[in-house]
Amino acid sequence: MSTINFANREINFKIVYYGPGLSGKTTNLRWVYQTVPEERKGEMVSLATEDERTLFFDFLPIDLGEVKGFKTRFHLYTVPGQVFYNASRKLILRGVDGIVFVADSASNRLRANAESMRNLRENLAEYGLSLEDIPMVLQVNKRDLPDALPVDMIQAVIDPEGKFPIFEAVATEGKGVFEPLKDVSRRVLSKLAEHT
């Protein structure tokens, strides 16, 4: 990714991993970083506190390559999940093209999942956007937990109408990490294509 040829046309996408604190957003990005070949990724930047909690964002640039004469790049971001970091969370949503909502399967995080989704709606509304405007997929993470709640119970609080694609994941093992990323990327692209 070190050489960038700007003389060509480019298309850049911003994909944001959203969700409650500790649901596994940073873990998703780390897995992508570890797995994508060297020449397709840039450096991962993490603005975190001493105890590894995301303070402002994590950032990972991914290079899809040249598609029909367009150099195509994805910027992946995570937001800080803790409630009191809302000011930074809102900033990261600026210019968002697609969202992966990472929910936590732990039984004591059901409410946190619901609150984070509500917070997402509110923050988008401040940019004059709604969830209908932006492609979003859901990732229900930590399926390996012994006390993992059933998926439909989690879905019932974050997406009661079942409008969004849903993926189960164990991000620490890389399970279900690429599927939602690929799916949301596709949706972002097809949203663009449908306008032409």
Partner 1 sequence: MIEPTVALYGDAFNRAAAVLEELIEQAQVRYVLLVDRKGFVLAHREALWAPRPPALDSIATLVAGNAAATQALANLLGEPNFNELVKQGEKQGLYVEEVNDLTLLVMIFDTDTPIGRVKLFGKKAADELDEITRGAVVMPRELGIDKDFHESADAMLDDLFGN
Ligand X SMILES: Nc1nc2c(ncn2[C@@H]2O[C@H](COP(=O)(O)OP(=O)(O)O)[C@@H](O)[C@H]2O)c(=O)[nH]1
Of 44 and 157, CB closest to Mg ion: 44
Phi, psi of 54 (to 5 degrees): -65, 130
**Smaller CB separation from Mg ion, 11 or 44:** 44
The length of the chain, given as a count of residues: 196
Q: Tell me the C-alpha distance between 159 and 99, whole Å.
A: 14
SS3 65: strand
Own/partner contacts of 33-38, CB < 8 Å, gap of 24 or more, are: 33/60, 35/174, 35/177, 35/178, 36/62
Q: Cβ of residue 54: shortest distance to Mg ion, in angstroms?
A: 3
Pick 14 or 25: Cβ nearer ligand X: 25
Minimum distance, C-beta of residue 24 to partner 1, in the bound complex (Å):
18
Q: Residue 141 interacts with partner 1 (CB under 8 A)?
A: no
* Beta carbons of 42 and 74 less than 8 angstroms apart: no
Site string for partner 1, 83-102 (x = CB under 8 A): ----xx-xxx-xx-x-----
Tokens 């992946």 belong to residue: 76
Count of alpha carbons within 13 angstroms of residue 42, beta-carbon side: 18
User: Stretches 20-28, 52-60, 141-149, 162-170: which one binds partner 1 (CB under 8 A)?
Assistant: 52-60
Among the listed ranges 109-117, 127-135, 145-153, 157-165, the one in contact with partner 1 (CB under 8 A) is: 127-135
The residues binding ligand X (CB under 6 A) are 19, 21-27, 54, 78, 81, 141-142, 144-145, 170-172
